[in-house]
């Protein structure tokens, strides 16, 4: 079956611009996670959804970051007023149990 | 916040050699997971260890969870070029989210 998909695969933007990153989870998975992976580092947790609601958003670095999952399936991570420090790979994962998370290929965001 | 430290950060060896990479913490984890990540892809789960002292084998890969559940190791026997990748350990923090180590970047030279 289809795995987790993320679009776009690459996004280049200018400092101060707004970006949206999309995640399509595995069908039927109720849990969805966003992580950020900087160069040479492991993924860092950003936010976790159970169904439509954000169950834990403690990893969002500041109020420029926001994520939604309006119908309990597709999720969008939104970043306002992007900064060069936001450059990273943004990973999405989904799970049916929380025990095993299945990761998408990521979106590589570059802020110039 | 629970932290996971991996060592070494980089490892380059010849095909056929054995190697061990480590994942250490000062905190106790209920379980630890090992992932492998290739360029342009997301991490893929290799194994989950749950019980202190547990040993799991996946072909040429042997995973061990420390008795005190604060550390884990991954041993690869007779490494092959296909084993090249970023190896990440991760543990649960709270109910659902994972905390990852910084990874070990492994290169196996033919």
B8-54: per-residue pLDDT in tens? 999 999 999 999 999 999 999 999 999 999 999 999 999 999 999 99
**Are A105 and B41 an interchain contact pair (Cβ–Cβ within 8 Å)?**
yes
Average confidence score pLDDT of chain B: 95
> Taking CB atoms and an 8 Å cut-off, how many pairs form between chains A and B?
60
- State which residue of chain B sits closest to A92, comparing Cα positions: B42
- Which token pair is B26? 């000062």
pLDDT in tens, A74-106: 999 999 999 999 999 999 999 998 678 999 999
Give the number of residues written for chain B.
110
Overall average pLDDT of the B52-66 stretch: 97
What does the pLDDT average to over B48-77?
A: 96
Amino acid A99: pLDDT: 74
- At B19, is the secondary structure helix, strand, or coil? strand
3-state secondary structure of A38: coil
What are the CA-CA distances from residue B85 to residues B3, B28, B76, B79, B107 (Å)?
22, 27, 13, 12, 7
- Hey, is the C-beta of B91 within 8 angstroms of any chain A C-beta? no
Q: What percent of chain A has pLDDT over 70?
A: 98
Angle, alpha carbons A37-B37-A108 (nearest 5°): 40
Burial of B10 (0-12, 13-18, 19+ CB in 10 A): exposed
Query: Which helix (H) or strand (E) covers residue A68, if one does?
Result: strand A65-68
Please give the Cα distance from A47 to B14 (Å, whole number): 40
């Amino acid at each position: 079956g289809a795995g987790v998909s993320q679009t776009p695969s690459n996004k280049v933007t200018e400092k101060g611009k707004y970006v949206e990153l999309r995640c399509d989870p595995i069908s039927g998975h109720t849990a969805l996670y966003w992580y950020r992976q900087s160069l040479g580092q492991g993924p860092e947790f950003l936010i976790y959804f159970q169904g439509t609601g954000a169950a834990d958003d403690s990893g969002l670095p500041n109020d420029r970051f926001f994520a939604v999952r309006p119908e309990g399936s597709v999720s969008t991570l939104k970043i306002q007023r992007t900064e060069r420090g936001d450059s990273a790979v943004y990973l999405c994962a989904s799970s049916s149990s929380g025990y095993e998370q299945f990761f998408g290929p990521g979106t590589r965001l570059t802020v110039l | 916040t629970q932290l996971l430290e991996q060592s070494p950060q980089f490892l380059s060896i010849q095909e056929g050699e054995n190697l061990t990479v480590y994942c250490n913490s000062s905190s106790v984890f209920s379980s630890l997971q090992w992932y492998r990540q290739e360029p342009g892809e997301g991490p893929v789960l290799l194994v989950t260890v749950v019980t202190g002292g547990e040993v799991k084998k996946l072909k040429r890969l042997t995973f061990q969870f420390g008795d005190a559940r604060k550390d884990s190791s991954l041993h690869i026997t007779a490494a092959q070029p296909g084993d090249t990748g970023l190896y990440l350990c991760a543990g649960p923090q709270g109910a659902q989210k994972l905390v990852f180590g910084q990874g070990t970047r492994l290169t196996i030279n033919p």
